[in-house]
Structure 1
Amino acid sequence: MANGIHHVTAIAGPARRNLDFYTRVLGQRFVKKTVNFDDPGTYHFYFGDEAGNPGTIMTFFPWEHVAPGRLGIGETQETSYRVPKASLGFWTHRFIEQGVVHDKLEQRFGQTVLPFKDPDGMRLALVGIEGIEQEAAWTVPGIPAEHALRGFYGVTLLLDKIEATAAVLTDVFGFEETATEGYITRYQVPGIEIGGVVDLRAAGEFLPARPGAGSVHHVAFQAKDDTEQAEMAEKLRKNHGLHPTEQKDRDYFRSIYFRSPGGVLFEIATLDPGFAVDEPKDSLGQALKLPKGLEGFRARIEDMLPDLGDEMVAEQ
């Protein structure tokens, strides 16, 4: 098995601000507009590439008045995207123009990286990759194709100790340890370029994470189908003493969840049926989609949801 990242789900503040940043400022496609299955009065946004391919999907639960989170042990410290290396200058200027909080370019594992934050303080980064200019890219006004995002590079997890989490990554998901730099050990899936990197940062004794705006809720890894997902769940139980949940139908994938040894919530999500199961690819994200059990409450739910105004990005 070789399984990269499927999606990353985080908590945000006001929905309109979140939608504007990830579509207009970062240039991702608004792939799906639905609701939090456990809190239907709250949106669940999905942002990604043109088709909503696994490895490109950032999702959010935006709560209008949520308190800020606090970075700490047992949390995703940073989520990084791939961009052509020659585009890092473009993105630096764009962040200045758009008022995006960002740091100077830095070197990590021999790569040039531009760290930045979204409006809720979520820690993000752009990793410059050579030779990906010709990869397909979703574009929006102001972001030419040659500079657009090309899916996830990976995530950095902040942990007390890394050994037990590393064992899950290598045994269950097919990652391999490739390098260490300072307190960070890098794990990669051979042959997977998009979403194929997990960095584990050993921080020792430190404050635990406090969920809130700007914090990652969970990281989801790919399973080809139900059979592979079941095999991964069995490995978690037998080899690691972990107990994933029963399978949950999320309409666009089927998921199981478990708390990793380092405290980070992991999900394993199937590749099927995908985001085009309930609306054409050309109109992804335009209509509010509700789970079957909630369709009868559509009018009430629409009344509860925040107004998104005219924040939808014009598509090219």
Structure 2
Amino acid sequence: MPTASTGLHHITAIATDPQRNVDFYQTALGLRLVKKTVNFDSPDTYHLYFGNESGEPGTLVTFFPWPGTPPGRRGTGQTTTVALSVPEGSLGWWRNHLSALGVETGEPVTRSGEEVLTVRDPDGLMLEVAAHPTGDSRPAWEDGTVPVEHAIRGLHSVTLTEAGYEHTATLLTETMGFRCVDEADGRFGFVTGDGGPGARVDVVCAPESPRGLVAAGTVHHIAFRVADDDQQQRWRETLVDKGFNVTPILDRKYFHSIYFREPGGVLFEMATDQPGFTVDEPLLELGRALKLPPWLEPDRATIERALPDLRSPGPDDPVTFDTPQS
């Protein structure tokens, strides 16, 4: 058996306008654009990675921005919420900050002993800002728009909505090394490792809900951390032996990946921690230039013509957002 995953590596969602996507995640949420590349399987669209200063695994929120994509529908067989980790006592600051930018938020609530604030991004993706009572030692990006004492530390958790939770729970606990730590009102909380921020998956059992539709404003897939290539190979063999339809190991340049669908239909990825985002540009220059894998470099001119212009907002740029609610 492979070593249990230590938690979430990244989530990838679908957006529409790439410039608005950059404006929101850099200006409103204070994350760093750590890599500007393309969808390797569809290089006529960007793949944008946001995270902490170095794009550490577990801090990453990434997007395929396809202009003109119709809105998706939240429902079963889908990752319906992405929670981001902030320091305890920061939710009041976040609510005021987002309100000043025209971003509406829900009322703060307490769930599983944690403070949670709900917000949607400009495409309707459901986000939560969550404060773990034991804190989060991961470094925030200190040069962002958010004061470091309130800044996002990385992923906190994801919520899967399922028509039935049992088979998904079995995969998480018997194969992936998670353990169930709480349950209330049809929401089951699973953690791995030390159970801190970035190591939690919630599964909501909602048999009455419609099937979800993956399109704009929804999550495309979620990725879990794998230590190295040897563990990656072991994970693939284990999952195949369990009857899952698993892709070959794919070179994503900044990590190596396999993909499969869990029993409820959510697309899972297992992604290695290495080689990381400084493999093709230095730390201080992350996210500034369009980076392509070697096999797409011969098509650079064609790819660049197909992509819209994209710039990072400056600290004094007036940016506000009209974010959808429910």
> Is 2:283 the partner of 1:281?
yes
Letter in 2 for 1:187: F
Structure 1 residues 281-303: Cα deviation after superposition (integer angstroms, max 9, x where no partner): 11111110011111112122111
Using the alignment, how far apart are the partners of 1:168 and 1:136 within structure 2? 31
Aligned residues with identical type, % of pairs = 46
* Deviates further, 67-76 or 228-237: 228-237
* Deviates further, 55-64 or 137-146: 137-146
Cα gap change, 1:168 to 1:18, in 2 (>3 Å): same
Residue 141 of structure 1, CA deviation: 5.3
1:6 to 4, 9, 31: 9
Letter in 1 for 2:297: E
> Is 2:175 the partner of 1:172?
yes
Find the residue that maps to 1:145 and give its secondary structure: coil
Structure 1 residues 149-176: Cα deviation after superposition (integer angstroms, max 9, x where no partner): 0111110000011111111112332111
2:228 to 202, 225, 229: 225
Residue 304 of structure 2 corresponds to 302
Letter in 2 for 1:68: P
Matches within 5 A, 1:22-171: 22-130=25-133, 132=135, 135-140=138-143, 142-171=145-174
The Cα RMSD (Å) is 1.6
CA contact (8 A) 2:257 2:271 kept: yes
Using the alignment, how far apart are the partners of 2:261 and 2:277 within structure 1? 26
Aligned pairs, how many? 313
2:217 to 214, 218, 225: 214
Using the alignment, how far apart are the partners of 1:244 and 1:171 within structure 2? 18
Using the alignment, how far apart are the partners of 2:93 and 2:181 within structure 1? 30
Q: Which structure 2 segments of 5+ residues have no match?
A: 317-326
CA contact (8 A) 1:43 1:305 kept: yes
Using the alignment, how far apart are the partners of 1:174 and 1:134 within structure 2? 23
TM-score (norm 1): 0.95
CA contact (8 A) 2:26 2:144 kept: no
Residue 25 of structure 1, CA deviation: 0.7
* Deviates further, 192-201 or 23-32: 192-201
CA contact (8 A) 2:9 2:59 kept: yes
Letter in 2 for 1:80: A
Using the alignment, how far apart are the partners of 2:314 and 2:78 within structure 1? 31
Find the residue that maps to 2:149 and give its secondary structure: helix
